[in-house]
Amino acid sequence: MTIEKAVQQDPWGTNVEILPDFWVDPEKLSVMQDLMFSGINVMLTGDPGTGKTELTKRLAQAHNLPFHRVNVGAIRTPRDWFGHWEFIGGQTVFIQSEFVAAIQRPGIVALDEFNRVTPDIHNSIYTILDHNREVFIEETKQYISVHPCCIFIATENRGRSHTGTFMEDTAVEDRFETLQLTLPPVEVMADLLEKVYGATPDHALLLARITHKLNTLYHEESLSRPTGFRPAISAAALVKRGQPLNTALKYTFVNRFSPEGGVDSEQTTVLQVIQAYLK
């Protein structure tokens, strides 16, 4: 079955317009689905906490597709994609990876933290990610063809705040179309914090505003790290458990930043932002 025939089948290839309890820019959601149902690999970038990995899961659920996540950062050699050798019953046996099984069936394969390995680690899957969509596994002497309805979505954290990441080879970048995710608008984020995570309307709006302000300061290079959705979710959870709001903000937002520098520290900057919104 070709990818062209696959996309004509219903419900395969039919876009969803929204994802329950999750926000992504509607245009990007539409474009992303059009790409993946056309057999084109997608790369999701954006600040931490913008929902890159979660989006891949939600899309799999929305389209009733199997989901397989690969922690790319844990792969140590180019051959680890396909399996590993084990000594069993007096002989050395090659144990094939779940990745090999996943690419031979319909579903979404999420290549998480794709740039947390050196570029040579990607060499073994070049032919999987290009128009050939096949690979020869030397250990088992097998040619493996990627299923026409197997979708590849990679995620990356990029930028000055991320250590342990590597520049990609142009050959890898050329195999993906890139979409950059952003935080939900303040009002949408507040609505999610209230409906999904149990924050009160006032607290939800406060947390959303603080998150956006701190993330803006990062992009203005006034802070060394971005602020995503996660601190707000954690703060909402602490308040829901009975912690005072100031305590929740301290342990979720403030403590993520360095106290070095005293009154000129990043923690002081964060505290000033919080105090401004608490007035």
pLDDT given for residue 8 in this prediction: 47
Q: What is the pLDDT of residue 31?
A: 98
Alpha-carbon torsion angle 18, 19, 20, 25, nearest 10: -70
When pLDDT is cut at 50, 70 and 90, the band that residue 177 belongs to is very high
Residue 160 has pLDDT above 70, yes or no: no
CATH of the domain at 21: 3.40.50.300
Q: How far apart are CA 102 and CA 209, in angstroms?
A: 41
What are the backbone angles phi and psi of residue 98, rounded to the nearest 5°? -65, -25
Global pTM reads 0.88
Same domain, 84 and 168: yes
Convert the pLDDT of each residue in 7-37 to its tens digit: 445 468 899 999 999 999 999 999 999 999 9
The count of structural domains within the chain is 2
Query: Do residues 198 and 73 share a domain?
Result: no
* Shared domain check, 85 and 30: yes
| 99 lies in the same domain as 144 | yes
Percent of the chain with pLDDT over 90: 73
Confidence of residue 6 (pLDDT cuts 50, 70, 90): very low
- The answer to whether 82 touches 97, Cβ cutoff 8 Å, is yes
Closest CA to 41 of 101, 112, 130: 130
- Mean pLDDT (the chain) is 91
Please give the average per-residue pLDDT across 267-273, as a whole number.
97
State whether 176 and 91 are in the same domain: yes
**Is the dihedral angle over the CA atoms 106, 182, 245, 261 positive or is it negative?**
positive
Please give the pLDDT value at position 77: 87
Q: Which run of H or E residues covers position 69?
A: strand 67-71
| pLDDT of res. 211 | 98
Closest CA to 41 of 168, 166, 139, 173: 173
Q: Is residue 176 located within the same domain as residue 45?
A: yes
- Determine the structural domain holding residue 211 and report its residue range: 186-278
Residue 199 has pLDDT above 80, yes or no: yes
pLDDT at residue 7 in the model: 43
* pLDDT for 74 beyond 70: yes
41 token code pair: 């690999």
Per-residue pLDDT, 5: 53
Q: At which of 148, 181, 214 does a domain end? A: 181
Of 138, 160, 181, the one marking the end of a domain is 181
Res 262: pLDDT: 84
Same domain, 231 and 266: yes
Please provide the distance, in angstroms rounded to a whole number, between the alpha carbons at the two ends of the chain. Answer: 62
pLDDT on residue 164: 53
Taking the alpha carbons of 75, 32, 26, 158 in that order, is the dihedral positive or negative? Answer: positive
pLDDT of residue 3: 45
**In a shared domain, residues 148 and 191:** no
Q: Please write the tens of the pLDDT for every residue from 103-145.
A: 999 999 999 999 888 888 888 999 999 999 999 998 889 999 9
Domain closes at, from 144, 163, 181? 181
Whether residue 92 sits in one domain with residue 58: yes
Query: Same structural domain for residues 146 and 236?
Result: no
* One domain for residues 173 and 196: no
Q: Do 192 and 177 share a structural domain?
A: no
